[in-house]
Structure 1
Amino acid sequence: MGRYDESARDALAQAFEQDGFVLLRDHFDRAKIDAWRDAFASLLQPHVDAAREASSSGNRGPGRYYVTLPFEGEFADPSVVCDEDIVAIVERVAGRDPVMCQLATDTPVLGSEFQDWHRDTPPLFDDAPETPSFQLAVNFPLVDVDDSNGPLETTRGTHRISREEALAGLADGRFPPERVPMRVGDVMIRDVRGLHRGTPNLTGAPRPMVVIGYSRAWYFRPEVHIDVPRAVLADLPPRAKRLLRYNPVVERTERIFDENYRQFAY
């Protein structure tokens, strides 16, 4: 049973259509997300160590790490990955019967910098940037996020226009930048074409932000997928199995991934 009735879900989807994102405050139980945070801690350090050995400072730019989550344990919780309210909103803005295609984190640490303004995917058609939504990111932090530790900076209404028009509007004030503080339990659903950037983490503690990707069933990016262990899949409810239907089923999943999703800014 979700938190929102059908009329509230409709209203949230309408707000999404206008702004390109919507926030669900205090949506997840804090204790549940704290368990994700604890399980994540051991996954980040190998990436930090690998970057140090390569004389680098991050796999997504200075002091910034993209870390895929293994689909097991806490990270395979169906109450999160197929939350009724979230999926209902996704279906309203990106079509019926979507697929879940990504489970990862973005984590800036001390030494991170402002990213360039970007989108996470190119338009479907160069001459038709106003197409309906086809790929969404569901973000939720594993720690409280404020101005000190790298909040997302985004713009409203830039998800249905060209990148060039969005950048021009950012420059002339038509699309002013907006930082998004979030607390543990908050959820953001956004169209990945909305113009946005990461900001610096000025603290000594990592700031992990989960991203669960959902897309229309026909949209496929081969560099982004979820390895689903057969034993985990067998225990999932039918709705979760349906969302994961196009991902590879494996006997076991790696806990530390060799990240090959490199081209992320458009």
Structure 2
Amino acid sequence: MGSVQDAPRLIVATPDELKAGTYDSGNIQAALEALHQDGFAVLKGVVDVAHVEHLNEYMSKEADELVRNNSKPFNQGVNSNILQAPPLNDPAFQYNDVFFNSFVIQVMNAYLGYKPIHNFITGNNALPHTAGLRQPVHKDIIFYHPQCPFYVIANIPLCDFSKTNGATEFWLGSHAHTTGHEQVLATPDSTLTNGRLRVGEPTCNVLDDVIEQRRAIRPPIQPICQKGDIMLRDLRTWHAGMPNESDQYRIMLALGYQAQWYPNHTLRSKLPLSQGNFFMKHAGQPVEVRADLLPDDSDFGKLNDIFSFRQTSK
């Protein structure tokens, strides 16, 4: 493939679309083509940069404490990356264009079906000065998953992403024909920091020979994104956290959207009761919020680290 085809598809809203908060049919078609063919799309400039910078300032200070106290397990077993959820208790950080972005929800309604379910919220922090440390190529799926769109992650960069600061590696198009049979199977000795593996079922990691076969067809990329962008990733798409050689945290939020037909009835975000009105009103967008509203002094960072995308009924 040529270089243009191997680049991520960028969905650029017109001034009129930005004002209306919705895409016209041309951009919806472009986003759907990107997700169906690549398993990935970048929505350009759909979040207020001031909102992103406010979140990044808070979460960077919080990360100093998390790292100093060694209070977060490393993600995917590599000492370069931690899960870090956004602040949920403070109304000052409750931005509709972050948590209930109208462009994201419009695309999710088109890709997953009417009124997708928002039931997952966390974040991902590539720690500074981690040159040479990268995650294995993997999917965030530890079961035999459907061969069609059933779940999408919206990643919101809180800073500009580059190869230097650890922009995530994505394998475009890898979602289209992948199954659990191309993943390393769990043994009694297999472990996963934030999930429960079942012996004989897939771990997250993709088999080495399968990776090399895919590399010959379409090698991976590291999308360069700016503050204000949102990356959409079909959950089946292969990816890997990359080294952050800079001296700053590289943080992105992760919000999950599930198709209504997919039978996972137990995955729920953990949210503070005092902020229930904001989250459950979901900015009037066509999305169903599934969440447990818990006492405000709950440890939401740790509670939202525990999740399973596995179906809960047949």
- Runs of 5+ unmatched residues, structure 1: none
Which residue of the partner structure matches residue 102 of structure 1? Answer: 120
Q: Is the CA contact 1:71–1:226 (under 8 Å) kept in the aligned structure 2?
A: no
Q: How many residues matched?
A: 258
Q: Is the CA contact 1:152–1:199 (under 8 Å) kept in the aligned structure 2?
A: yes
Q: Is the CA contact 2:270–2:303 (under 8 Å) kept in the aligned structure 1?
A: no
* Distance verdict in 2 for CA 1:10–1:253, change over 3 Å: farther
Identify which of 195, 207, 211 aligns with 2:250: 207
* Distance verdict in 2 for CA 1:123–1:197, change over 3 Å: same
1:233 deviation in Å?
2.2
Report the Cα distance in structure 2 between the residues aligned to 1:225 and 1:81, rounded to whole angstroms: 15
Which residue of the partner structure matches residue 292 of structure 2? Answer: 248
* Distance verdict in 2 for CA 1:124–1:253, change over 3 Å: farther
Which residue of the partner structure matches residue 264 of structure 2? Answer: 220
- Runs of 5+ unmatched residues, structure 2: 1-19, 184-205, 309-314
Report the Cα distance in structure 2 between the residues aligned to 1:43 and 1:13, rounded to whole angstroms: 36
Q: State the TM-score, normalized to the length of structure 1.
A: 0.83
Report the Cα distance in structure 1 between the residues aligned to 2:227 and 2:103, rounded to whole angstroms: 17
Q: State the TM-score, normalized to the length of structure 2.
A: 0.72
Q: Is the CA contact 1:30–1:184 (under 8 Å) kept in the aligned structure 2?
A: yes
1:147 deviation in Å?
1.2
Q: Is the CA contact 2:161–2:226 (under 8 Å) kept in the aligned structure 1?
A: yes
* Distance verdict in 2 for CA 1:206–1:82, change over 3 Å: same
Q: Is the CA contact 1:78–1:237 (under 8 Å) kept in the aligned structure 2?
A: no
* Distance verdict in 2 for CA 1:74–1:155, change over 3 Å: farther
Residue 32 of structure 2 aligns to a residue in which SS?
helix
Deviation string, structure 1 residues 116-160 (Cα, Å, up to 9, x no partner) = 0000114554xxx5x221111101211111111101111111112
1:75 deviation in Å?
4.3
Which residue of the partner structure matches residue 191 of structure 2? Answer: none
1:93 aligned onto 2:111 = yes
Report the Cα distance in structure 2 between the residues aligned to 1:234 and 1:209, rounded to whole angstroms: 25
Report the Cα distance in structure 2 between the residues aligned to 1:156 and 1:59, rounded to whole angstroms: 22
Report the Cα distance in structure 1 between the residues aligned to 2:159 and 2:70, rounded to whole angstroms: 23
Matches within 5 A, 1:60-209: 60=76, 61-72=78-89, 73-109=91-127, 110-111=129-130, 113-122=133-142, 124-125=144-145, 131-161=147-177, 162=179, 164=182, 168=209, 170-172=211-213, 173-209=216-252
1:80 deviation in Å?
2.1
Report the Cα distance in structure 1 between the residues aligned to 2:44 and 2:304, rounded to whole angstroms: 32
Matched to 1:147, the amino acid is K
Which residue of the partner structure matches residue 60 of structure 2? Answer: 41
Matched to 1:63, the amino acid is S
Give aligned-pair identity as a percent.
Answer: 21
1:35 deviation in Å?
1.1
Identify which of 3, 15, 24 aligns with 2:43: 24
Report the Cα distance in structure 2 between the residues aligned to 1:216 and 1:155, rounded to whole angstroms: 23
Aligned CA-pair RMSD: 3.0
Q: Is the CA contact 1:70–1:254 (under 8 Å) kept in the aligned structure 2?
A: no
Q: Is the CA contact 1:99–1:214 (under 8 Å) kept in the aligned structure 2?
A: yes
Report the Cα distance in structure 2 between the residues aligned to 1:34 and 1:118, rounded to whole angstroms: 29
Matched to 2:255, the amino acid is I
1:239 deviation in Å?
4.1
Report the Cα distance in structure 2 between the residues aligned to 1:190 and 1:233, rounded to whole angstroms: 27
Report the Cα distance in structure 2 between the residues aligned to 1:219 and 1:210, rounded to whole angstroms: 25
